[in-house]
Amino acid sequence: MDIIIVGCGKIGKTLTQSLVEEGHSVTVIDISSTVIDSIANIYDVMGVCGSGTDGEVLEEAGVSSCGMFVAVTRSDELNMLSCFIAKKMGAQHTIARIRNPEYNMKNHTFLREQLELSMAINPEMLAAREMINILKLPSAVKIEAFSRRNFEIIELIIPENSILCDKSLVELRSKLKGKFLVCVVQRGEQVIVPNGNFVIQAGDRIGLTASPDEIQKFLRSASIDKKQAKNIMLLGGSRIAYYLARLLAVWGNSVKIVEQNPDKCAELSESLPKAVLINGDGTQQELLLEEGLDRLDAFISLTGTDEENILMSIFAHTHKVPTVITKLNRDELTDLALKLGLDRIVSVRKTVSDVLVRYARAIENSKGSNVETLYKIMDDKAEALEFNVSPDFTGIGTPLKELSLRPNILIAGIIRSRNAVIPTGDDVILHGDKVIVLSAGQRLNDLEDILK
């Protein structure tokens, strides 16, 4: 598919890389010729220097034939206007980054309708929602939901001395007697789609699929459940902090925000009446201790500097805060953070990239594919996909044990009439089902692609 990206900042670069890796033909537009030359050389894409609101620039980029037009500059207004013009010039699907809370809270639907936007993305809101998922289930390091939250896949890191250690998956299913499936394991750099004889070891990162209720039962049975976070501190009064505090207020959480800028502190205090605002330098350890770091359920580092976020997260971790979430912008620091024991990392760029990769595949669905939901998991080394089962799928009615699946493919769940089924070899796929498929090392566009 031909895709145009306007704005080559941090998110624009990440989107370019992800969409090129997906096999799309990408053209980038930016007002800086230096930036254009750099990205064109790194990712082997076409670059056009100019404004995304200039009709001649858009025409040179091929807007009339592009399948997806994405505007992710620093300006909400420029993004919206670029998409409006691109739509009028023939772009099929237009997506604008809109970050301003006023646009998102009050006029979101109106703006989308009037500008004919296919999607409006708010990176900070997406990141806040990802963090909320972790806070609601703090035993997990990542949570993804399918079929309106009727089915979930969570990622867990197996601690030392866990009752799960040195047990085969067959033993675990028998011992814990739950309706769950360990569908993927990351051990070091290796990602494995396991069979029943696979033995879990301490330090493994496992992907577990089940309904939300069954996941809770599993965590309790395995003695690795943690209570939901109630007393939470946010370091940095960013946009993410604003959206996160609003969402936490709905859940009745106690939220304290530490922000160094007095003007921003006053602004947040007015817009977030239920949060406690502390005007001070959150990198001063004494301040955090005075504000009750040792009594927190969760600490979330949201400053604009990755190094600060890592250091202060380590400080919170050493003070035994049960849940520590670290926001990172630079992907190259993720491995370092993981080695330092920080396993709950949220990348705004990666969150947006996953959403748009998912949307690009959804557009291709209309050409014969039927992927409904897609998540990158296990540090992007595997994918979890939700398919709608069409009547022409050749595997309908055949017991799963008789299907000849491609290597590193696992049918992780079936959703039938909103009921989640952890499949066995005797189960069958029916027309109208939703099927969750785990794939490692290969791209799937259609349910038929799982078969040899």
Domain boundaries along the sequence of the chain: 2-121, 128-221, 231-321, 368-450
Beta bridge partners of 231: 254
What is the arithmetic mean of pLDDT over 76-105? 89
**How many residues are given for the chain?**
452
Which residue's structure tokens are 């349910």?
A: 447
pLDDT band at 83 (very low <50, low <70, confident <90, very high): very high
**pTM: predicted TM-score of the whole model, two decimal places:** 0.85
What phi and psi, each to the nearest 5 degrees, are found at residue 261? Answer: -80, 120
How many Å apart are CA 277 and CA 256, to the nearest integer?
Answer: 6
Which of 3, 129, 107 shows the shortest CA–CA distance to 65?
A: 3
Helix (H) / strand (E) element for 135: namely helix 123-136
Cα dist. 49→28, 56, 61, 81, 93 in Å? Answer: 8, 11, 10, 18, 22
> Considering the chain, what percentage of its residues have pLDDT values greater than 70?
97
In this chain, the answer to whether the domains covering 128-221 and 368-450 adopt an identical fold is yes
Query: Dihedral angle at the C-alpha atoms of 233, 236, 238, 243, nearest 10 degrees?
Result: 0
- pLDDT score recorded for residue 2: 94
Residue-by-residue DSSP string for 42-99:
HH--EEEES-TT-HHHHHHHTGGG-SEEEE-SS-HHHHHHHHHHHHHTT-SEEEEE--
400 touches 428 (CB < 8 A):
yes
Query: What pLDDT, in 10s, does the model give residues 282-307?
Result: 999 999 999 999 999 999 999 999 99
Q: Which CATH architecture has domain 2-121?
A: 3-Layer(aba) Sandwich (3.40)
Query: What pLDDT, in 10s, does the model give residues 261-276?
Result: 999 999 999 999 999 9
- Does the pLDDT at position 20 exceed 80? yes
- pLDDT score recorded for residue 444: 83
How many Å apart are CA 65 and CA 11, to the nearest integer?
Answer: 24
Within 8 A by CB and 6+ apart from 110, the residues are none
Residue scoring higher pLDDT (82 or 172): 82
How many Å apart are CA 89 and CA 73, to the nearest integer?
Answer: 20
Query: What pLDDT, in 10s, does the model give residues 397-432?
Result: 999 999 999 999 999 999 988 788 889 889 999 988
How many Å apart are CA 385 and CA 392, to the nearest integer?
Answer: 19
Which of 334, 352, 351 shows the shortest CA–CA distance to 343?
A: 334
What is the arithmetic mean of pLDDT over 359-375? 70
pLDDT band at 108 (very low <50, low <70, confident <90, very high): low
Residue scoring higher pLDDT (222 or 207): 207
Q: Are strands 2-6 and 25-30 parallel, antiparallel or unpaired?
A: parallel
- Under the phi-then-psi rule, with left for phi > 0, alpha for psi from -120 to 50, and beta for the rest, what region is 13? alpha
- Does the pLDDT at position 369 exceed 60? no
- pLDDT score recorded for residue 107: 65
CATH superfamily of domain region 368-450: Regulator of K+ conductance, C-terminal domain (3.30.70.1450)
- Please provide the average confidence, as pLDDT, over all residues in the chain: 89
Topology of domain 231-321 in CATH is Rossmann fold (3.40.50)
Residue scoring higher pLDDT (397 or 176): 397
99 touches 67 (CB < 8 A):
no
Topology of domain 128-221 in CATH is Alpha-Beta Plaits (3.30.70)
Q: What angle do CA 145, 146, 152 make, to 5 degrees?
A: 50
Is the sign of the CA dihedral 174, 180, 181, 185 positive or negative?
A: negative
